[in-house]
Amino acid sequence: MNTEMITKLTEAIVTVVVVLITAYVIPWLKGKIGEDKYNQILIFAETCVRSAEKIYTPEEWAQKKRYAVEMVQKKAEELGITITSEEINAIIEGAVQAVKG
């Protein structure tokens, strides 16, 4: 497999995951934790994603994600929200898409 094909396949997979997150996980999370708390977490996650983009280089994508996940987890705890790592990942993915516009 050549690099271009792998890149296109990866982009397609990411697109499908984002669509699934948007269609199913986000509405479910809003119902679970409440829309107000969800919006607080999402706004905070977007801020964390922007910060990670400034702190880390594109090659340091794993560190960027870890930073955002850790910060969102701390904020959720401060707000008294119990969410799983999968839910945090969904929030981060939503924030990344929102930041990319």
- pLDDT one-digit tens code per residue, 25-81: 666 666 667 777 778 888 899 999 999 999 999 899 899 999 999 999 999 999 888
| pLDDT given for residue 40 in this prediction | 85
Exposure of 47 by Cβ count < 10 A (0-12 exposed, 13-18 middle, 19+ buried)? middle
pTM as predicted? 0.66
| pLDDT given for residue 77 in this prediction | 92
Which stretches of the chain are DSSP H helices?
Answer: 3-20, 26-33, 35-55, 61-78, 85-100
